[in-house]
Amino acid sequence: MTAPRLYFVAAESSGDLLAREVISTIRVKQPDVHVSGIGGAEMASVGIVSPIDVSPLSVLGLFEGLRAYGTVVKLADIAADAIIADTPDVVVLVDSWGFMLRVAQRVRARAPHIRLVKLIGPQVWATRPGRAKTLAATVDHLLCMHEIEAPFYEPFDLKTTVVGNPALSRHQWGKRDVFRKTHGISEEAQVVLVLPGSRSSEIKRVAPALVEAARIIRESDSDRKIIIAPAASVAAQFAESFPDVAEWATVSTDPSERYDAMAAADLALACSGTVTSELAMQGTPMIVAYKTGWVTWSLARGFLYQKRHITLLNIVSDDQEIVPEFVQTKQTPDRIAAHALYWLTNPDALAEQRAAQQIALSRMKEGDRDAAEIAAEVILEEARV
């Protein structure tokens, strides 16, 4: 039997990480598999050399996306060329709705025999359920995170498999003591971790408020330690945007320290995203911030978005604010710092927040199997169709 040929496409940091995890699992299950792909540092770490640079796709918001439309189309064309030249049996399109849809449409039109698998679907349960019909007309199989997603695709006969939330499958517990020892932080010192985002636009719109809030927290007590950990994809941009931050904070750009830093922190200030689930897994209380363009926000709130909150921990908690959200006009350094300082000076309140997050986290779990393992099995099955 011929070894299966797979092609993974990941355009953003979270997708790149998930792709790497699934690829590694597939190689264990079928060592002779041929895997190529388009992605970033995570996929490169397992030997997948990307033929194109996907960093320009890290956009946020409607008008940012419109301005980047030409780039998206151009890269989708290049990606389709690379995929077809590799002659895969299955293409796995990870996250990143707009770009992956265009890649899928191009591959489907030019090579309809190639199986297309979407790994993580659009949030049809929160915004634009019409995307379910569009996706069903474009791919052969959807691997989604939650049971609540499947019913949206049933009317369109799209084969759907629930894999669970990948962040909850990462059984990599951070080493609190190791991180603190490495960075010369005593066990008694309070540590605040800042996670400013993984997209260029997040470094522009969210990071300034989080960094300034951290500075206020540090100034209130010089014994507190601030750790700032920008994603690898935006580390250079962060360094250029905040050249003086190393004077009062420790900047960690080593991906291998990711979970150790979370475990070492007493509190995290985070840009909304996948990282919030990862923080909850490490038992780290958090405050979430987010900001996008006003037209984008108005359209989302007025016509598109169906939930009151943006953090998954809050959404699964009956759309109640378990994790404090500072969004749009509420995203100010003073407000974020004030809430953080209240927790940091009230151990009972911080403990209550940690417990509340664990309850919310328990609602997100779909099963006992790892997301990467379920995804790997489905992808290999698709290669045999």
Please state the rounded mean pLDDT for residues 287-312: 63
| Residue 209 covered by a domain | yes
Q: Determine the residue type at 73.
A: V
pLDDT above 50 (res 236): yes
How far is residue 65's CA from residue 86's CA, in Å, rounded to a whole number? 29
CB 18 within 8 A of CB 118: no
| Residue 86 covered by a domain | yes
- Helix, strand, coil fractions of the chain, as percent rounded to 5: 50, 15, 35
213 and 292 in a single domain? The answer is yes
How far is residue 93's CA from residue 116's CA, in Å, rounded to a whole number? 8
267 and 303 in a single domain? The answer is yes
| Residue 169 covered by a domain | no
57 and 143 in a single domain? The answer is yes
377 and 267 in a single domain? The answer is no
104 and 196 in a single domain? The answer is no
pLDDT above 50 (res 293): yes
267 and 287 in a single domain? The answer is yes
CATH of the domain at 237: 3.40.50.2000
Please state the rounded mean pLDDT for residues 312-316: 83
147 and 202 in a single domain? The answer is no
130 and 192 in a single domain? The answer is no
pLDDT above 80 (res 302): no
Total domains present in the chain: 2
| Residue 306 covered by a domain | yes
Domain that holds residue 218: 176-364
pTM: 0.74
204 and 304 in a single domain? The answer is yes
pLDDT of residue 306: 53
The SS3 assignment for 293 reads coil
| Residue 170 covered by a domain | no
189 and 288 in a single domain? The answer is yes
Give the pLDDT confidence of 137-157 residue by residue, as tens digits: 999 999 998 888 889 899 999
How do 159-162 and 191-195 pair as beta strands?
Answer: unpaired
| Residue ranges with strand state E in the chain | 5-10, 34-38, 90-94, 115-119, 141-144, 159-162, 191-195, 225-228, 250-251, 267-271, 286-290, 325-327
How far is residue 288's CA from residue 123's CA, in Å, rounded to a whole number? 19
